[in-house]
């Protein structure tokens, strides 16, 4: 593994602030009982839960950082329902997901908006996880490499080198998200290599490449070992402390030549 692994729990539109507090607390207790040495852990709760989660993380000194699932590309103004980078930073949020496929497909986030949002978040000092991945038709036509290349180039072309260390990429094939149908280790390994090539052609060599899509306690160890990823973006399995931390543990076990 080339980088310290990164595992992000994307809670999506689940858990109210009381439930979020409970899950944060459980994760804190479990990490205290069984510390994880080599994994950067990030929690991405819904906006309305962020304050509760950052408060408990700070008061209990839980070794995790907090992400937002989305941010607006503008600094402020007439954007009903949206949230800005500075609002997130004020809450000690340090990461943001940009261009999750659910934002792209359900909320009309096109490549231009993804690019503008990513640049705005980086300029504001947030760490960005750029999400890319193809729909089933594209995979069936074997066009996934070109599709993902276009998404990466459109989002990252011309990004100032001083921002490179803030970037990670999550490969999330849409057909694997929330479906229980995980990409095979070969598919993940091949796409991870492709993404690293495209990143390197853009001069972005340092970015971690994650996989997301029905990751669970059963498949995490194999995918991290054979898929050659630097970690995971986890949806459903991040809603329970046990399953989330068992995925984190798989990455910890794999780190440092242990794979
Ligand atoms: P899933 O979601 O793990 O529930 O498939 C992953 C994601 O969308 O980030």
CATH of the domain at 76: 3.20.20.70
Give the H or E element holding residue 188: helix 185-201
Low-confidence ranges of the chain (pLDDT < 50): 259
Looking at residue 258, what is its pLDDT? 54
Upper half-sphere CA count for residue 47 (Cβ side, 13 Å): 12
Distance 180 CA to ligand 1 centre (A): 9
Task: Name the residue with the closest Cα to ligand 1, atom 7.
Answer: 235
Residue 1 within any structural domain of the chain: no
Q: Is 100 a catalytic residue?
A: yes
- Locate 29 and state its tokens: 């207790």
Q: Which runs of E-coded beta strand occur in the chain?
A: 6-10, 40-44, 65-68, 95-98, 127-132, 167-171, 208-212, 231-234
Looking at residue 52, what is its pLDDT? 96
Do 232 and 247 form a contact (C-beta atoms < 8 A)? Answer: yes
Residue 37 within any structural domain of the chain: yes
Looking at residue 156, what is its pLDDT? 97
Looking at residue 206, what is its pLDDT? 86
Residue 110 within any structural domain of the chain: yes
Q: Is 172 a catalytic residue?
A: yes
Upper half-sphere CA count for residue 145 (Cβ side, 13 Å): 11
| Dihedral sign of CA atoms 52, 37, 39, 94 in order | positive
Cβ-proximal residues to 35 (8 Å cutoff; 6+ apart), any chain: 63
Residue 13 within any structural domain of the chain: yes
Q: Catalytic: which of 100, 102, 134, 194?
A: 100
Distance 103 CA to ligand 1 centre (A): 13
Distance 188 CA to ligand 1 centre (A): 15
Do 154 and 124 form a contact (C-beta atoms < 8 A)? Answer: no
Looking at residue 180, what is its pLDDT? 85
Do 73 and 111 form a contact (C-beta atoms < 8 A)? Answer: no
Residue 89 within any structural domain of the chain: yes
**Domain extent at residue 246:** 6-255
Residue 164 within any structural domain of the chain: yes
Q: What's CA 221's distance to the chain center, in Å?
A: 18
> Among 212, 229, 236, 237, which is best to mutate for testing ligand 1, by the most ligand atoms less than 8 A from CB?
212
| CA 85/CA 97 separation, integer angstroms | 12
Do 171 and 147 form a contact (C-beta atoms < 8 A)? Answer: no
DSSP 113-168: HHHHHHHHHHHTT-EEEEEE---HHHHHTT-HHHHHHHHHHHHHTT--GGGGGGEE
Cα-trace Rg, the chain: 17
Task: Name the residue with the closest Cα to ligand 1, atom 3.
Answer: 235
Distance 213 CA to ligand 1 centre (A): 5
Residue 49 within any structural domain of the chain: yes
Number of structural domains found in the chain? 1
Residue 146 within any structural domain of the chain: yes
Do 231 and 5 form a contact (C-beta atoms < 8 A)? Answer: yes
- Locate 9 and state its tokens: 């729990």
Contact residues of ligand 1, CB 6 A cut-off: 10, 172, 177-178, 212-215, 233-237
> Among 10, 95, 229, which is best to mutate for testing ligand 1, by the most ligand atoms less than 8 A from CB?
10
Query: Using one digit for the tens of pLDDT, what is the confidence trace for 61-89?
Result: 999 999 999 999 999 999 999 999 999 99
């Amino acid at each position: 593994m080339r980088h310290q692994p990164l595992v992000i729990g994307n809670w999506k539109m689940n858990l109210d602030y009381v439930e979020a507090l409970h899950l944060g607390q459980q994760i804190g207790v479990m990490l205290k009982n069984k510390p994880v040495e080599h994994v950067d852990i990030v929690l991405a709760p819904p906006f309305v839960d962020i304050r509760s989660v950052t408060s408990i993380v700070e008061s209990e000194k839980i070794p995790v950082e907090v992400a937002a699932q989305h941010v607006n590309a503008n600094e402020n103004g007439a954007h009903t329902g949206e949230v800005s980078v500075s609002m997130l930073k004020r809450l000690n949020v340090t990461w943001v997901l940009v261009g999750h496929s659910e934002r792209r497909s359900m909320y009309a986030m096109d490549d231009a908006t993804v690019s503008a949002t990513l640049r705005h978040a980086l300029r504001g000092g947030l760490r960005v996880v750029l999400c890319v991945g193809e729909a089933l038709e594209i995979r069936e036509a074997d066009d996934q490499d070109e599709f993902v290349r276009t998404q990466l180039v459109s989002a990252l072309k011309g990004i100032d080198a001083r921002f490179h260390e803030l970037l990670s990429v999550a490969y999330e094939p849409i057909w694997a998200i929330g479906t229980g149908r995980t990409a095979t280790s070969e598919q993940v390994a091949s796409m991870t290599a492709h993404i690293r090539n495209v990143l390197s052609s853009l001069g972005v060599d340092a970015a971690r490449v994650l996989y997301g899509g029905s990751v669970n306690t059963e498949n995490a160890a194999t995918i991290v070992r054979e898929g050659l990823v630097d970690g995971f973006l986890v949806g459903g399995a991040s809603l329970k402390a046990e399953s989330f931390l068992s995925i984190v543990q798989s990455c910890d076990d794999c780190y440092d030549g242990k794979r």
